[in-house]
Copies of this chain bind each other. A is one copy, B any other.
Amino acid sequence: MKRFRVELKKTVDDSYDVQIGRNLIPELAKDMENGLVGRCKKFAIITDSNVKDLYAVPVCGELEKAGFSAELFEFPAGEKSKSRRTKEIIEDAMLEKGFRRDCCVVAVGGGVVTDLAGFVAGTFGRGVPFVNYATTLLAAADASIGGKTAVDTELATNLIGLIYQPRKVYVDIGAWKTLPRQHLINGLAETVKHACLADAEFFEYIENHVDDVLNVVPEVCEHISEKNCNVKYQVVMKDEKEKSLREILNLGHTVGRAIETVSDYRLLHGEALSIGMAAQVKLGCKLRFLSAEQRDRVIALLERIGLPVRIPDYIDRDELIKKLYTDKKVRDGKLRFVFQKGIGDVITFGDDIYARPVAEAEIRSILEEM
């Protein structure tokens, strides 16, 4: 019997810049000219039907003007497109057009686009560079930091994917003006979540600026984007050491994700998350992790934004409970929830433990009264 060791210790530098501003397309082209993705000359612009004409076509044009070759790959907008099937269609189209390992992916759009395009980039030719051009608040808050990419399957959301870092993230707050109001509202759910878990002052700021965000007041949008990225960044960074810390970003998602799936995506992600946040503060209040007043303050803010805080009638409660068990945090068959501690912090359950086992009966009683 023989045995030897394959030594693979190395230092990896996956650092990247996040730029927040209005119309960053010329900036993107300039970065590419300056070698942001090395010698790469061929760009796959992945986008959805919502933003294609507004942003992806201009990105293509600007890259071509700079002397690069660029092709558009579009899929129908919506969470339902975040599937293995869409990934396959894009990959085949890229291969068909002669894309190989020497290309770069540019994701142009919201969270669905950045999640899916990042996953395509991560496995195309065993990994090609990619950048995110985020056009929604949700993408700024959720998809621009952390490197999480994924698709959904019938049986689970976000369970097939990769951690794969972009080379740069562009947050175009100018694009928010063109968002349907429902999508702006949708994006604020993750923002409220971030405030709830890490920043009481930011929570108050949102309370005071709901109308300004919905009217896309530039300074307010910049502040919101920056704070969002900041909270997420702090968590993702610390997670390098504390392996579970990242779970706190899952606040409200246990119920939220399940409702999103059971609604068959009639609810947008942020809408489902909002209901999940409401469930979380209600259960958290029962378990004395926050006061009734704090619970009501969170629910009131969600409602003022225009987000739902009750489970729609068409959602089958039993199916919802069953779906909870497909959550990533489930361990040894037990449901686990993250809880906020008051407003602006999370509860810990011992060293580096941020999720608490929850008996099915506990959450069932909450869901039944919602």
Contact = CB atoms under 8 A, between A and B. Distances in A.
20 contacts: A2-B20, A3-B19, A4-B230, A6-B16, A8-B14, A8-B237, A9-B11, A9-B12, A9-B14, A9-B15, A10-B240, A11-B12, A92-B153, A92-B155, A123-B123, A123-B160, A125-B159, A125-B328, A127-B162, A127-B163
A304 interface: no
A159 B84 contact: no
A14 B328 CA distance: 24
Nearest to A122: B162
A119 B10 CA distance: 22
Contacts of A194: none
A91 interface: yes
A102 B334 CA distance: 12
Copies per complex of this chain: 2
A162 B123 contact: yes
Interface in A87-129: 88, 91-92, 95-96, 98, 100-102, 119, 122-127
B13 A95 contact: no
Contacts of A12: 8-12
Interface residue tally on A, bucketed by range: 35 or more
Interface of A: 1-22, 41, 84, 88, 91-92, 95-96, 98, 100-102, 119, 122-127, 145, 148, 150, 153-156, 159-163, 165, 222, 225-226, 229-230, 233, 236-237, 240, 325-326, 328, 330-333
A94 to B, nearest CB: 9
